[in-house]
Amino acid sequence: MKKRLKRFTEQFIEGILMISGTVTSFTVLLIVVFLFREGLALFNTSPLEHHNVIVINENNPVDQLSAGEIKSIFDGEITNWKDVGGKDEPMLTFTINDLGDYFSEEEIGADFEYLPEKLNSLVDSIPNILAVYPDNYLAKDLKGKLVRVDKNNIPDFLFGKDWYPTAEPAVQLGVLPLILGTLLVSIFAIIFALPIGIATAIYMAEIADPRLQKILKPVIELLAGIPSVVYGFFGLIVIVPLIHDLFDLPVGETALAGSVVLAIMALPTIITVSEDAIRNTPRSMKEASLALGANRWQTISRVILPYSMSGITAAAILGIGRAIGETMAVLMVTGNAAVMPHSLLQPVRTIPATIAAELGEAPQGGVHFKALFALGCILFVITLVINLWIEYVSGKRKLKH
């Protein structure tokens, strides 16, 4: 009876563990599927928000415009139709906000019931007009011509340099500045943090007095639990003014400030994991190295570090993951400027900071909303590629040894 009860208990626990693992894996898979479903929905959709359409005179030879050309037109950079393949004549733009310049309230009606007819006659009477208005005001007998607008596509999204997701009438969704800003801040954060973290781990595991170890380890582990916003405040009050004064910059909110703050945030994780890996090196290997005549530093560099390299690699992966995915601290100290980064001493914007800053203001289901989910897909892919690359390099090193 006791054996049956023990066997039943073991099977019950195994079933719970299996169900827990299955549910967790399935949940993660669903999250990834949901992320990519929302993100990929961005492409092959129009960059025109609020169901707007672009209407021109039917005698105008222009048939198609890109989102960049529309932005240039409404920014006043393109003022002649010949610049977009039309006739040599000045361009007149019209939006729904210009109604008062052309029609009275009586002409359009109290409920805008006459507006489609008035817009139709306006487009028909002005040869050089470019009118943008909601598609529910299109007349049934349209006398103008609808202009096709290039849809959002992956190359323009990834390599575009303008991020204006709320621009009117066509949004600009170029994420290259955000990708480069994320990589710049994260890579330099790891460059700063990894040597310091590994050196500290070696000191704590092999050199420090045991009494000092008992003090340092809890303190460093405590640092890992500090909220990121606290690190952001520290960076804003201490690091940003220091960089501003040291380099004589207009503003101290730069990529360098973000890298330093992220390096400080990644240090506890790197130190803790690396120190555990170094401490797990078999004592017999250390004693054998010392018995063969190697000194302490030779033993550390040629025996302990190669043996614990897998743990140090895991620490690097966790540190990179913390750096790439960090949001609030980076948002507070990097200047939050979506521009192409050319140095560490200029403001940048990262992908996580962009998602955190804009998701609450993006209309659900709109182009901006889908673009932010597409940014999440890019962040997921970047993290996955870095992890796979580090695992590949670590595997080759293990095979070599």
Q: Is the pLDDT of residue 175 over 90?
A: yes
| pLDDT tens digits, one per residue of 314-373 | 888 888 877 788 888 899 999 989 999 999 999 999 999 999 999 888 888 889 999 999
Q: Is the pLDDT of residue 56 over 90?
A: yes
Rounded Cα distance, 384 and 400, in Å: 24
Q: Is the pLDDT of residue 393 over 70?
A: no
Beta bridge partners of 90: 80
| pLDDT at residue 133 in the model | 93
Rounded Cα distance, 338 and 169, in Å: 20
pLDDT category of residue 230 using cuts at 50, 70 and 90:
very high
| pLDDT at residue 168 in the model | 85
Whether the Cβ atoms of residue 47 and residue 173 lie closer than 8 Å to each other: yes
Type of residue numbered 117: E
| pLDDT at residue 346 in the model | 94
Rounded Cα distance, 302 and 286, in Å: 10
Q: Is the pLDDT of residue 39 over 70?
A: yes
Give the pairing type, strands 129-134 and 52-56: antiparallel
| pLDDT at residue 152 in the model | 92
Q: Is the pLDDT of residue 397 over 60?
A: no
* CATH number for the domain running over 52-150: 3.40.190.10
Q: What is the token pair recorded at 61? A: 């030879």
| pLDDT at residue 396 in the model | 59
| pLDDT at residue 371 in the model | 94
Whether the Cβ atoms of residue 147 and residue 70 lie closer than 8 Å to each other: no
Percent of the chain's residues with pLDDT above 70: 98
| pLDDT tens digits, one per residue of 268-323 | 989 988 998 888 888 888 888 888 888 888 888 888 888 888 788 888 888 887 77
Q: Per-residue DSSP letters for 176-233?
A: HHHHHHHHHHHHHHHHHHHHHHHHHHHIIIIIS-HHHHHHHHHHHHHHTTS-HHHHHH
Q: Per-residue DSSP letters for 322-368?
A: HHHH--HHHHHHSB---S---STTS-B--HHHHHHHHGGGSPTTSHH
| pLDDT at residue 394 in the model | 63
pLDDT category of residue 398 using cuts at 50, 70 and 90:
low
CB atoms within 10 A of CB 78: 18
Q: What is the token pair recorded at 150? A: 């290039």
Q: Is the pLDDT of residue 245 over 80?
A: yes
Domain 176-400 has CATH 1.10.3720.10: yes
| pLDDT at residue 344 in the model | 92
Q: Is the pLDDT of residue 127 over 90?
A: yes
Rounded Cα distance, 80 and 22, in Å: 62
| pLDDT at residue 217 in the model | 86
| pLDDT at residue 61 in the model | 93
| pLDDT at residue 44 in the model | 81
Q: At what angle do helices 210-223 and 255-279 cross, to 10 degrees?
A: 140
Annotated domain spans of the chain = 52-150, 176-400
pLDDT category of residue 79 using cuts at 50, 70 and 90:
very high
pLDDT category of residue 206 using cuts at 50, 70 and 90:
confident
| pLDDT at residue 401 in the model | 54
Q: What is the token pair recorded at 207? A: 């050199």
Average pLDDT, the chain: 89
pLDDT category of residue 399 using cuts at 50, 70 and 90:
low
Q: Is the pLDDT of residue 395 over 80?
A: no
